[in-house]
Chains A and B, each alone.
Chain A
Amino acid sequence: MIRKLLFKQNLVLWVIAVGSIIVPFFLPNKYFQDIAVMTFLWAGLATSWNLYSGYCKRLSIGHAAYLGIGAYTSSLLYLNFGISPWIGMLAGGALSAVAALIIGGTTLRLKGTFFVLSTIAFAEILKVITITSKEITAGALGLMIPFKPAFANMIWHGKIPYAILTWIYMIIVLMISVKLEKSRLGYSLIALGENQQAAENLGVNSTKSMLIAFIMSAVLTSFGGTLFAQYVMFIEPTSVMSLTNSVNFILLAIAGGLGTAFGPMIGSFILTPVSNLLRGYIGGISGLHGFILGMVLIVILLFKPDGILPQLKQLFRNLFTKREKSGKGV
């Protein structure tokens, strides 16, 4: 009976995920459509982050690095060689895979605390390298992508096409996440996140599992980075590879539910619009926005570290079990 409940639960979540595509079409103007684009994009990004960090509970606080690799690779290839961002996206993914392989290979076996610190260090180093390699990356001045709408350029008029693109990105990453949860790799990750030694005793090769998941996470985040660059059309190191971005991945995933396929999406659906609208209203007072976000994260961590998805699931269970015949037991 619980199986059917879980199935229905996932069904509802899928309906929300798939149905959300219609939202942008009903939004009144570009301001709100922009929020929709960012909501879908960050849902995809947070889900990508969650693929590794959420399931095996080793938080990477430096994922903005892969965002940056994706954004910069596709942009540089486009600006310097005219290569379509669609291809550039794949190139960025390849580069991220290599980076994740090297970084992961060396740091994944470190104890939790050290691993987290190393992820931050890597992101910072990447940022510094990007700023100092001025000849290639234009450093702190940033890169501007000229507005030449065409499908091949991944540039369109208006926001709706971008909303569709980022929605597709989110759906793809969600599908990967759901598939992962029902796979050997997923089970290995969750088990080693709970108790690494016990997992290894059951045949889980934790190093290999973590590395694969880490690379997947990096590559998918990198794809999102390309989408990001093509949408905002201007990227520079301190805003793309920032700690704020890295924290945002985590904030959204934790708020919705760490280590669940749909958690990060829910987190983004709630927090991204709220955060953007907030910025709109109180943007005048510098610092207030960040202050509130920080407070929100603190409150979540102190009082609801499992995110709100468990709450929602409980609500769901209550709704459905009341209608079921009694006596079956839950």
Chain B
Amino acid sequence: MLLKIESVTKRFGGLNALSDVSLEVEQGTVIGLIGPNGAGKTTLFNCINGTLPVTEGKVIFDGIDITRKKSYEIARLGIARSYQIVQPFGNMTTLQNAMVGGFCKTKVYKEAEKIALESLELVRLDHKRDVVAKHLNLGERKKLEIAKALSTQPKLLLLDEVMAGLTPTEVQDMVRIINNINASGVTLIIIEHIMEAIMSLSKRIVVLNFGKKIMEGTPEEVSSNQQVIEAYFGVEDGEQDA
């Protein structure tokens, strides 16, 4: 089991952003994480990779308890993530951006460069390698975000709404890229609102609502589940809670 999230609770003052969430992620799989806005999906990512401290519970990665570890330590152990609101290192070139990730596992310039280039090729951004990052458009920035994370040579990649704001063509492109990443051996957890994409990519889907895990199952099971439908669309007038 690559990642084990054990009863994680995250409290902000009086508010429970996450309540007793548990999850097991196998090596090599793709897990889709869905739920309405504010359900706690990004918070879960933040708790996994050390951006936010966990209030209760444990996160165990590759047999190591990473609950109290700092972000950079976790990155070095093999978890990388992309952010919803992409923020490239604006004044560095695309290649340099990816190289920051490349330096995660090596001290040698040439190696970092090679790894970065491979990541850029995987996301098909290598032709823009010398463009200063702040001049990239949104789709390119999203790809760069992934390339940066990939360059750290992670075992587990957390993708947070990488398709938001993309055109349908770009979305298809992204689906291809994500499949390729998974094919190369990287385990993925993906947060996404574009249902077709996430249903086709994921082997299993986890649904969060109000900080709780309300369901976990195959894409078919989840999309036909009453509770999930209610979470997204609300309860119709006249119907009772299931």
Q: Do chains A and B touch in the complex (CB under 8 A)?
A: yes
A203:B76 contact, CB within 8 angstroms: yes
Interface pair B104/A198, CB less than 8 Å apart: no
Decide: A187 and B100 in contact? CB cutoff 8 A.
yes
Going nearest first, the 4 A-B pairs with the smallest beta carbon separation are: A203-B104, A203-B75, A194-B89, A2-B130
A202 in contact with B152 given A3-B130, A188-B103 (CB within 8 Å):
yes
Residue of A nearest to B83 (CB): A198
Complex contact B103–A203 (CB within 8 A)? yes
Q: Which residues of B contact A138 (CB under 8 A)?
A: none
Interface string of A190-225 (1 = CB under 8 A from B): 110011011111111110000000000000000000
Within 8 Å by CB of B51, from A2, A187, A201, lies: A201
Candidate in B81, B92, B103, B105 with the most chain A CB atoms within 10 angstroms: B103
A197 surroundings in chain B (CB, below 8 A): 51, 71
Residues of A within 8 A of B (CB): 2-3, 182-184, 187-188, 190-191, 194-195, 197-206
Q: Decide yes or no whether B101 CB sits under 8 A from chain A.
A: yes
Report chain B residues within 8 Å CB of A188: 100, 103
Tell me the complex Cα distance, A184–B130, Å. Answer: 19
Type the 1/0 row for B131-170, where 1 means its CB is closer than 8 Å to any CB of A: 0000000000000000011011000000000000000000
Q: Is the CB of B112 within 8 A of A184?
A: yes
Residues from 104 to 121 in B contacting A, C-beta threshold 8 Å: 104-107, 109, 112
Cα distance A197–B52 when bound, in Å? 11
Q: What are 19 inter-chain pairs, A to B, with CB distance below 8 A?
A: A2-B130, A182-B109, A183-B109, A188-B100, A190-B96, A194-B90, A195-B89, A198-B83, A201-B49, A201-B81, A202-B72, A202-B148, A202-B149, A202-B152, A203-B72, A203-B76, A203-B104, A203-B105, A204-B72
Asked if B34 lies at the interface with its beta carbon under 8 angstroms from chain A, I say no
Size class of the B contact interface (CB-based, 8 Å)? 20 to 34
Residues of A near B99 (CB, < 8 A) are: 187
A190 surroundings in chain B (CB, below 8 A): 89, 91-92, 96
- Tell me which residues from 52 to 83 in chain B have a Cβ below 8 Å from any Cβ of chain A: 70-72, 75-76, 80-81, 83
* Residues of A with C-beta under 8 A to B75: 200-203
**In the complex, which of the residues A199, A203, A205 has the most CB atoms of chain B within 10 Å of its own CB atom?**
A203
Asked if residues B92 and A202 are in contact (CB atoms below 8 Å), the reply is no
Contact across chains for A205 and B51 when beta carbons are under 8 A apart: no
A195: chain B residues within 8 A (beta carbon) = 87, 89
CB of B72 within 8 A of CB of A206, answer: yes
**Given A184-B103, A202-B100, A202-B104: 10 more A-B contacts, CB < 8 Å:** A188-B100, A191-B92, A194-B90, A198-B87, A198-B148, A199-B100, A202-B72, A202-B151, A203-B75, A203-B76
Question: From B127, which residue of chain A is reached at the shortest CB distance?
Answer: A329
Chain A residues whose C-beta falls within 8 Å of the C-beta of B149 in the assembled complex: 201-202
Residue of B49, B112, B130 with most partner-chain A CB within 10 A? B130
A199 to B92, CA, bound (A): 13
Q: Check if B71 sits within 8 Å of A201, measured CB to CB.
A: yes
**Given A200-B71, A201-B80, are A194 and B92 also a contact pair (CB < 8 Å)?**
yes
